[in-house]
Chain A
Amino acid sequence: MLLTGAEIVIETLAEQGVDVVFGYPGGSVLEIYDALYKSDKVRHILTAHEQGAAHAAEGYSRASGKVGVALATSGPGATNLVTGIASAFMDSIPVVFLTGNVPTSVIGKDSFQEIYIAGITMPITKHNFIVRKIEDLADTIRNAFTIAMSGRPGPVLVDIPRDISQATTEYIPEHARTPKPLPRIFRDDLRLAAQAIYEAKRPMLFLGGGVVSSNAAAVVKKFIKRTDMPVCHSLMATGILKTNDPYNMGMVGMHGSATSAHAVQKCDLLVTLGSRFSDRVATNARQFAPNATIIHIDIDAAEIDKTIHAGIGLVGDIKSVLTALLPLIEQKDCSDWRNELTEYKNSNEYRPAENKNVLVPKTIIETLWKKFSKEAIMTTDVGQHQMWAAQYCNSGRSRSFLTSGGLGAMGFGYGASIGASFACPDRRIIHITGDGSFHMNIAEICTAVTYSLPIITVVLNNEALGMVRQLQHVAMGDRFSTTIHGRKTDFAAVARGFGAQGFTCRTQKEFLKALEAAKQTLDRPTVIDCTIAQELLVLPMIPSGKSAADIITE
């Protein structure tokens, strides 16, 4: 059938199983939006800003495991996507970004709204394409999906000049693409790993984001049962195990638990699943797990030996590798080692001061999990609130804690919440933010109002840019340069101004009341502004470059 390029874009997206696209129209994508208007195959969600669309697409993917799609016009539309593209890249999230561009005849002439987005996004995409011939359009979009979802997932950008959208060619539908075959797993490596696990006296399992992207939570739980190993996790693997799971020693790294830091120091084997040992995990790579042999299982060969030398490196998909490894492992008993760690936890773990009269982050996050339990998907922005949300995340379910880990992009959360809402319409999206982060993309409330999304935003409001303030406390002699901002924003009033519901809370009682109202409100978003003390710190903390021995707990 003879179609225009714009129609081919929509047909190809539909053929690839895309049901929703987040985007913002503009001159270079006029024809694509016209094709969207005429078709009912793909739903388009209009955000307030292209950054919101980019975060929504990655939020959609993080929550569902499917490839997210965002669409923007040339020039500023494309550049506004960049933070979302980088966020997806750093956390290995499969997203296809489509951008319009000026017609090929005027490319390179500094035309209106012309930007070389392929050049800009080269280091933050797995791959990108500029479509130069209409005949290549459908296959290029299909290849973008294959690349995004294959191997280590990631974002792919397809730049479509306007004359390509306008031209016509023959379109033949195809089946949805599937990921490329997984790398072969070597039996010898599996045997080595099984032997090391068998011999280890103090083994530790370390879960990274790869467990989430390979949908391996179920087999990981079997692996834990079989090996009886205590577990720690990176920020990206938050939520897979509940915080109160007896095997879970907590997050590891800069704001990880004291028990995990201790356990990683003491263990003789660290079985690492899909983590890249970022500088926020291995704050000092040379002193990380100093007594351990490291088994590193990762889909990306380039991660093995990149930061930490692995004694045993296994390249492969976590789910497939563990499935192949399980039959080689006998039931193990690590109860002595686990009891030792549990004792350590009981006597040495950091516990924040309780205060019944005011709101404290721990109580807020725990209350949310009590109220919504497994039904909730928690999204965060970036800063102190993000770390508190991670420390007390009691989900127990994969893909239920969505956060911008590698890039650490403030303003991620609301867009991600919108994306998650469309990925999982039957679940409740709880957006944890701070007064700094929320200001960044607060305009996206309008999107949630337009589409009647009952997103619940909880602002941990300390009237400061808290994480930087904390760093200034630790490293800059309490010189709080610009971080105590003096803003007077009434978030509840702003929410109402957008057509959402808004509450301000100073006590747990007020919070519970607001939360109940939010739970009952299913046709629009709610913002609950919670006042917390300004001087609260995220603890424990291992400063950059330091090791577990330098952990700060007060």
Chain B
Amino acid sequence: MKGRDEMGKTENNIVTVLVENNAGVLARVVSLFGRRGYNIESLTVATTKDKRTSYITIVVNGDKDILDQIIKQVSRLEETISVRPLEESRALSRELLLIKFAINDKTLTSIHEISSIYGATIVDLAPDTMIVELTSNTSKIDAFLSIMKKYDIIEICRTGVTALERDSQKLK
């Protein structure tokens, strides 16, 4: 039996939701999160190999009780086919970062060098700016960004997490 005062620690959790690919389905999921006061850290959505379904990957901050409620509440939606939390150890997660720098002769080389170390690639180079792309997991992207902070960043854009479970189990 669970203790009633048990307060879990808050952390980021990945929840994957398979939904029917109907108009407005994303709005329904997001509306539910808004209504119940769950905090979305990131959200990605795209159709699956079956065009009638979409796969939503949500990163949400909360303790175990909140995660439990989210899964139950999202399950209640008529268009939800399945909801699964992704354990970190079993999740293969990626997000994409695009970052635009203002550059000069001095910074160009060092940005290039750090990017290489992180496996990031330069996707656009203009006389005064460059854009670097990095696809990785969230913690590596965070680390990359914290190093790059000292350079003259014009804009940052990241996609949010998309994830799959490592073994071959289907989401169904």
Chain A interface residues (CB < 8 Å from chain B): 118-119, 122-123, 126-127, 130, 147, 286, 293, 300-302, 305-306, 308-309, 311
Q: Provided the pairs A305-B68, A309-B3, A309-B4 are in contact, do residues A122 and B76 lie with their beta carbons within 8 angstroms? A: no
B76–A302 CB distance below 8 A: yes
A305–B65 CB distance below 8 A: yes
Name which of B27-35, B49-57, B100-108 contacts chain A.
B27-35
Q: Which residues of A contact B68 (CB under 8 A)?
A: 305
Measured CB to CB, the closest approach of chain A to B4, in angstroms, equals 5
Q: Tally of A-B residue pairs with Cβ under 8 A?
A: 41
Residue of B nearest to A289 (CB): B4
B73–A302 CB distance below 8 A: yes
Chain B interface residues (CB < 8 Å from chain A): 1-6, 23-24, 27-28, 31-32, 35, 65, 68-69, 72-73, 75-79
Q: Which residues of B contact A306 (CB under 8 A)?
A: 69, 72
A126–B78 CB distance below 8 A: yes
Residue of B nearest to A301 (CB): B72
B27–A119 CB distance below 8 A: yes
Give the contacting residue for A123; candidates B24, B31, B76, B79; CB below 8 A.
Answer: B31
Q: Which residues of B contact A119 (CB under 8 A)?
A: 24, 27
Q: Which residues of B contact A147 (CB under 8 A)?
A: 78
Measured CB to CB, the closest approach of chain B to A94, in angstroms, equals 14
A302–B72 CB distance below 8 A: yes
Measured CB to CB, the closest approach of chain A to B27, in angstroms, equals 7
Give the contacting residue for B75; candidates A130, A302, A308, A311; CB below 8 A.
Answer: A302
Measured CB to CB, the closest approach of chain A to B66, in angstroms, equals 11
CA distance A364 to B2 in the complex (A): 46
Q: A302-B72, A306-B69 are in contact. List 13 more A-B contacts (CB 8 A).
A: A122-B27, A123-B31, A123-B35, A127-B79, A130-B24, A293-B1, A302-B75, A305-B65, A306-B72, A309-B2, A309-B3, A309-B4, A311-B1
CA distance A305 to B1 in the complex (A): 11
CA distance A92 to B61 in the complex (A): 29
Q: Provided the pairs A309-B3, A309-B4 are in contact, do residues A123 and B75 lie with their beta carbons within 8 angstroms? A: no
Measured CB to CB, the closest approach of chain B to A137, in angstroms, equals 16
A127–B78 CB distance below 8 A: yes
Residue of B nearest to A150 (CB): B78
Can you report 29 A-B residue pairs in the complex whose CB atoms are below 8 A from each other?
Answer: A118-B24, A119-B27, A122-B24, A122-B27, A122-B31, A123-B31, A123-B32, A123-B35, A126-B78, A127-B77, A127-B78, A127-B79, A130-B23, A286-B4, A293-B1, A301-B75, A302-B73, A302-B75, A302-B76, A305-B2, A305-B65, A305-B68, A306-B72, A308-B4, A309-B1, A309-B2, A309-B4, A309-B6, A311-B1
CA distance A118 to B24 in the complex (A): 9
Measured CB to CB, the closest approach of chain A to B49, in angstroms, equals 25
Q: Which residues of A contact B75 (CB under 8 A)?
A: 301-302
CA distance A138 to B27 in the complex (A): 25
CA distance A309 to B79 in the complex (A): 28
Q: Which residues of A contact B2 (CB under 8 A)?
A: 305, 309
Measured CB to CB, the closest approach of chain B to A196, in angstroms, equals 10
CA distance A42 to B23 in the complex (A): 32
Residue of A nearest to B79 (CB): A127
Residue of B nearest to A303 (CB): B72
Q: Which residues of B contact A302 (CB under 8 A)?
A: 69, 72-73, 75-76
Measured CB to CB, the closest approach of chain B to A264, in angstroms, equals 14
Measured CB to CB, the closest approach of chain B to A191, in angstroms, equals 16
Q: Which residues of A contact B5 (CB under 8 A)?
A: 286
Q: Which residues of B contact A122 (CB under 8 A)?
A: 24, 27-28, 31
A300–B27 CB distance below 8 A: no
The list of the 4 closest CB pairs from A to B, nearest first, reads A302-B72, A127-B78, A311-B1, A309-B4
Q: Which residues of B contact A286 (CB under 8 A)?
A: 4-5
Residue of B nearest to A293 (CB): B1
Residue of A nearest to B5 (CB): A286
Measured CB to CB, the closest approach of chain A to B26, in angstroms, equals 11
Measured CB to CB, the closest approach of chain A to B119, in angstroms, equals 42
